[in-house]
Structure 1
Amino acid sequence: MTLLVGCDFSSSPTSRKQIVLALGAIQGGRIQLSKLERLASLDAFSAWLQQPQGWVGGFDLPFGLPRELVETLGWPLQWEACMRHYAQMSRAEIRAQFAAFCDARPVGGKFAHRKTDGPAGSSPSMKWVNPPVAYMLHAGVPRLLDAGVYLPGLQPPPQDSSRVALEAYPGLLAREVLGARSYKSDDKAKQTPERLIARKDLVHALEMGQTRWGLRLKLSHAQRDALVGDASGDALDAVLCLVQAAWAWQQHQQGAPLYGLPEDLDPLEGWIVGA
């Protein structure tokens, strides 16, 4: 049975704001959540990645930068070389170069976008604030590379492709169920009854298979309470990524070589699974 993983990632995890992993598998046609695991540091994340067990995972962080940005900055146009170059920079250097890029562009078009951002509704992967996805890429992708994990569409398949990482985005499924309703906030003052109800509705929809893929999530009462009760939405976001990983695994079982990613994706930018 293939282990499936959903990861709600943080570029600066702490004991208060941890990386959350949702672990599960498909059993009897449903996604069975086995447990939630929390990691309080990037070193703990690296250690988890380097364990020998196989898995297919959906990770909530961008795996690539916009081609337009990379070309303008004169960085390597081959994905792994680009990521190695990016990993060597400090966050201050990233912010300075990206801000200069934006400053040179007209109002309303400051950021460069990847092709996947449109259909996914995702933030540009070069954003360094609200949310700081550029730093998430900087913290996460080099660790995936160092652990020898396979990233379909961005790398040729290795001899050992037992650990497979896909770029996921929880907002993709959440918006499908909730529309524009918000279901989470890290700000205690914004952890409202309306957001609690939205989380209940989202969990119910996942259990009923009320998304485009019809995959049903199987939860215990305690797991359901934990997902609904986490007002930050981190646990629920990890589970949404788990659902995306499960769909990707199904696509691969049915013969899709790139786990449901489009075969003509830009191999520098990458693609969000399901977009």
Structure 2
Amino acid sequence: MSELRLVGCDFSSTPTRRKPIVLAWGEARGPRVRLERIERLDTLAAFGDWLKRPGPWVGGFDVPFGLPRELVEQLGWPLAWRECMAHYASLSRAQIREAFAAFCDARPVGGKFAHRAFDRRAGSSPSMKWVNPPVAYMLHAAVPLLIEAGVDLPGLHAGDPSRVALEAYPGLLARELVERRSYKSDDRSKQTPERLIARKDIVDALEQGRTRLGLRLALTHAQRDLLVDDASGDSLDAVLCLLQAAWAQAQGEGWGLPADLDPLEGWIVSC
């Protein structure tokens, strides 16, 4: 078998050349994670083709892998993950928006969205949210391609054990390092010196191993400049997901997932 690779994926539900899906490839040697390269995919078809390539790899993907159980039960959708995802994939984005908006409209202010069990702990957006950010559409775009490619989704769906996909969330690690300071924006007018400094602080902390993951990121000077200079934060987010994948791989067979993981909702690795 070829050497195991680690990959972090910053996903976009509507990738373009300007806003591609970003992959950060690396390898781990003990607590040291070396960034090898950044790869960019500007179509969903290219992403699907990449997923089908032979492994072995373990990846952390910044995309929700499941919906809140409360939402699924309320809508009367299938409660088994594979069947639920098949139903979800059969809907258009307009149908998803209509169903989720109706769910929210029937609920009180302050409790509009349903959450997965770990959302508040991770600080992640509800996976049913269709705007700012549109994570519901990210799930709709990515998960069918993961299933079609036959990758292994631990705790949710068995597949090829040489290609392991785990749900990651870069904000979980970023907040540990810079708290609520913003470090990225796709809006050029908001790509401020303060956000640049926050990205530098994150990269410094990752290189020094100052996170609870116990890992130290190894970068070349050019890679460091790339992560800091990418004001969208996409490259840095992919690297944060790479480190979460490295942490999961170091946990052994269980990938650090909890024993009581909900097989409908999934789990964010390292949460």
Q: How does 1:35-54 map onto structure 2 within 5 Å?
A: 35-54=37-56
> 1:64 touches 1:137 (CA, 8 Å); kept in 2?
yes
Deviation at 1:54, TM superposition (A): 1.3
Stretches of structure 1 lacking an aligned partner (at least 5 in a row): none
Say if 2:172 is the partner of 1:176.
no
Distance 1:53 1:259 in 2: 17
- Give 1:204's aligned amino acid: D
Stretches of structure 2 lacking an aligned partner (at least 5 in a row): none
- Give 1:273's aligned amino acid: V
Q: How does 1:1-275 map onto structure 2 within 5 Å?
A: 1-27=3-29, 29-155=31-157, 157-158=158-159, 160-252=160-252, 257-275=253-271
Distance 1:146 1:244 in 2: 24
Deviation at 1:119, TM superposition (A): 1.2
Distance 2:54 2:163 in 1: 9
Deviation at 1:27, TM superposition (A): 2.7
Q: Deviations over 1:174-221 (max 9, x none)?
A: 000001111000000000000001000000100000000120000000
Deviation at 1:231, TM superposition (A): 0.2
Deviation at 1:2, TM superposition (A): 1.6
Deviation at 1:29, TM superposition (A): 3.4
- Give 2:257's aligned amino acid: L
Deviation at 1:28, TM superposition (A): 5.3
Deviation at 1:263, TM superposition (A): 1.4
Deviation at 1:118, TM superposition (A): 1.7
Distance 2:146 2:165 in 1: 8
TM-score for both structures, normalised by structure 1: 0.96
Distance 1:127 1:226 in 2: 30
- Give 1:31's aligned amino acid: V
Identity %: 72
Deviation at 1:259, TM superposition (A): 0.4
SS in 2 for 1:161: strand
The 10-residue stretch of structure 1 (100-109 or 27-36) with the greater mean CA deviation from structure 2: 27-36
Distance 1:220 1:140 in 2: 31
Q: Deviations over 1:255-275 (max 9, x none)?
A: xx3300101111000000011
Q: Deviations over 1:136-193 (max 9, x none)?
A: 00000000000000000112x44x3110000000000000000111100000000000
Distance 2:122 2:196 in 1: 24
Deviation at 1:53, TM superposition (A): 2.1
Aligned residues: 269
Hey, which bits of structure 1, 4+ residues long, moved more than 6 A?
none
Distance 2:228 2:186 in 1: 14
Deviation at 1:4, TM superposition (A): 0.1
SS in 1 for 2:130: coil
Distance 1:152 1:258 in 2: 8
Distance 2:194 2:104 in 1: 36
